[in-house]
Chains A and B, each alone.
Chain A
């Protein structure tokens, strides 16, 4: 049988246990607003009983454990949903910005500007001799070209922004992984004696949640309490060790840009395999979505430039050229003109011929010579040098290849010439008698030769400069709008552009909708986590009351036993 003093111990154990319980409750209440905090409970267990002749006699209560209530599985699910949501959210935000670049449907987008351009061509066809209409066409063409330049540079800027954000956020990752390693250390030390480091674990979960926003993580808890974090098979955190990430410029990502980076492990230089989180979204925008749109815009511009030039070079203007240097240079003037690798030209001419008409200054007579362009693959084919030589042979004309490998044609004093009726397309390919200069959306511009002298706009198909009303070439240029020149001859310029915008709209819409759903899922999981682990003030208040009563009751017991002792000690003497 126990002594009264041991009964005191029982009361004390009650006081201590309830005090602990109240403290835990206080801790919960204090942390009601703490991010990631899991409510804790003191596990009250009755003490090992004393074996007496009467049977087992209880020895009171003790706190066996202070544990946190948390569903680890939900944490994993939450991290997955976070990775998914952030990836979609980033994609959606950037896609909305990409859409904004185009301002469609509207009056200032590329579609309206192309309409305006072709309208100007038709207006010129009505009155080809009128200089104001020529100036007007150059103006609308310039606005169109500038808009293409602008759209292209903004799309590249989007990629630059994504790239910069990647570089910036890598240091965020490093900061998080460093902290995780530090927490792992703390947890290992704290749990060495078998207790659970509740608050450290909560903090670690918060860090993992943050990390999951950036990359898709795979977590494994080790027996010593530490958590290992992997991304795509590469270790980021293992125990107290963390692997620093860095960015490395990789020119192969885009040969036209030298600044795009890979995310690599700093120690090994190996590229990280990321499939979720912000980084995945940024990489997809930079390497897939934005380039896709940019490529389509470039294809549109390149086709417009070449096809319009092709038609333009069939005709002549109100005046002839006195001197003309081709826009495009070749890499090797001795290479066959249809060998695009050796010439470096964007397009390829074919076997055919064109006309050169030479007029004296009085415009009363002109001489027509047909220049053949031999690219039939039989015998020796023409190179730029050959072409220059053929043209040079024409009376009152001299032609040569310049030092920077361009075709230069000059008329003798008091003479001028026109180039037209080109079945080989060589004129459009090298850029002589063309309307547009440049090769894609980034450098598209109205040919400065035309800008300086609008009378050179080739509206006429008649070699005779007196035939100022001949508008057949202008009509042909206007008809380009309805010609299917893209998608292997199934789409017009407008069709192609509409398809591009339609695709962009659909992709953005899908990303938007999916982001909303992902956000909803994520919030749902977060709520379920909270339902399990969150502090309910009602609950804690109730517990507070309960433990307070328990404490009071034990205190009462203590008083009673104290009185008994008093009776015993003082009364029995």
Chain B
């Protein structure tokens, strides 16, 4: 006996085929609507897992980039402030040389002393600069003014350090941190107390102690200058390093984003072509179904 075909078989078969065509079409439509080929882990378990991991990596890279921006800003402002201070120290050195010449009279020396005093006040102010409401040179005592002046008779007689010697860091990649700051005592009062040097120069000028000015203070101010230049160079190097790491992270971010696209996203061209062919298949199934269900012998028996 061959294969018997009954109306039920035909109906069942037609319905199953149409349902299948609809199902495939619906899947393609969903892909096009969401733009993604992975809409649930079961669509592609390995791909989904990878996509989750890539997204985490992208989030991490973006946060590292932000950390770098913060560190860069802080270092940048520190460097700018130090350059301003160095300019002032240059000027103070010139004045000291002039003040040390023997041909000046007391009035002229007093005038220079006044200018030195102004430079001193300016430098203290600069050393107390804030960036985004935290002091640049306080160490981790970021809310405490680093350099406190003792004022006697309207003039600074001593400058003491109220910060600490600690540094704080930013994470710039997994397990890699970069220190953001340099503590004020390390920059200004390490081997040579910068402020004290200026105080002493001012006082020496007023006392007309040209000997001290030439043989001691010039050396001191040079030492102070060296420390400042070293610190400036450190910040410069820090910023270069941050730039390099940042660049690498930018590249990484780009390739990760591309990778995520490739993993998750639907190929639009392919999907549209698929959509059209599936639509045709559905039409064909419907047509065929209609034609197959109709005739039976009963139509032909009189």
Question: Are the C-beta atoms of B134 and A469 separated by less than 8 Å?
Answer: yes
Given contacts A122-B171, A478-B171, A498-B49, contact A534 B6 (CB under 8 A): yes
Q: Could you tell me the distance in whole angstroms from the C-beta of A6 to the nearest C-beta in chain B?
A: 35
Question: Are the C-beta atoms of B55 and A105 separated by less than 8 Å?
Answer: yes
B18 beta carbon closer than 8 Å to chain A: no
Question: Are the C-beta atoms of B41 and A508 separated by less than 8 Å?
Answer: yes
Contact partners of B48 in chain A: CB under 8 A: 104-105, 501-502, 505
Given contacts A32-B7, A104-B41, A541-B297, contact A501 B171 (CB under 8 A): no
Given contacts A478-B171, A537-B298, contact A100 B70 (CB under 8 A): no
Contact partners of B170 in chain A: CB under 8 A: 125-126
B297 touches which of A122, A467, A469, A538 (Cβ 8 Å): A538
A346 beta carbon closer than 8 Å to chain B: no
A50–B168 Cα distance when bound, in Å, is 120
A381–B134 Cα distance when bound, in Å, is 46
Given contacts A105-B55, A112-B59, contact A534 B9 (CB under 8 A): yes
Question: Are the C-beta atoms of A115 and B60 separated by less than 8 Å?
Answer: yes
Q: Could you tell me the distance in whole angstroms from the C-beta of B262 to the nearest C-beta in chain A?
A: 13
A119–B67 Cα distance when bound, in Å, is 10
Question: Are the C-beta atoms of A536 and B66 separated by less than 8 Å?
Answer: no
A534–B12 Cα distance when bound, in Å, is 12
Which of B6, B71, B141 gathers most chain A CB within 10 Å?
B6
B301 touches which of A95, A116, A545 (Cβ 8 Å): A545
Within 8 A of A (CB), among B50-99: 51-53, 55-56, 59-60, 62-64, 66-67, 70-71
Contact partners of B245 in chain A: CB under 8 A: none
Q: Could you tell me the distance in whole angstroms from the C-beta of B256 to the nearest C-beta in chain A?
A: 13
B56 touches which of A115, A123, A535 (Cβ 8 Å): A115
Contact partners of A125 in chain B: CB under 8 A: 67, 170-171
B246 beta carbon closer than 8 Å to chain A: no
A383 beta carbon closer than 8 Å to chain B: no
Question: Are the C-beta atoms of A501 and B301 separated by less than 8 Å?
Answer: no
Q: Could you tell me the distance in whole angstroms from the C-beta of A182 to the nearest C-beta in chain B?
A: 27
- Among A154-162, A332-340, A524-532, A562-570, which stretch is in contact with chain B? A524-532
Question: Are the C-beta atoms of B52 and A111 separated by less than 8 Å?
Answer: yes
Question: Are the C-beta atoms of B12 and A127 separated by less than 8 Å?
Answer: no
Question: Are the C-beta atoms of B70 and A126 separated by less than 8 Å?
Answer: yes
Q: Could you tell me the distance in whole angstroms from the C-beta of B193 to the nearest C-beta in chain A?
A: 22
Question: Are the C-beta atoms of A541 and B298 separated by less than 8 Å?
Answer: yes
Q: Could you tell me the distance in whole angstroms from the C-beta of B57 to the nearest C-beta in chain A?
A: 9
Given contacts A494-B53, A538-B296, contact A467 B140 (CB under 8 A): yes
**Beyond the given A96-B40, A105-B48, could you list 11 further A-B residue pairs with CB under 8 A, ordered by the A residue number?**
A115-B59, A119-B63, A123-B66, A466-B143, A469-B140, A497-B52, A498-B49, A504-B42, A508-B41, A535-B7, A537-B297
CB<8 Å pairs between A and B, sample of 15: A32-B6, A32-B8, A111-B52, A115-B59, A122-B64, A123-B63, A127-B70, A481-B60, A494-B56, A501-B48, A505-B48, A527-B12, A531-B5, A534-B4, A534-B6
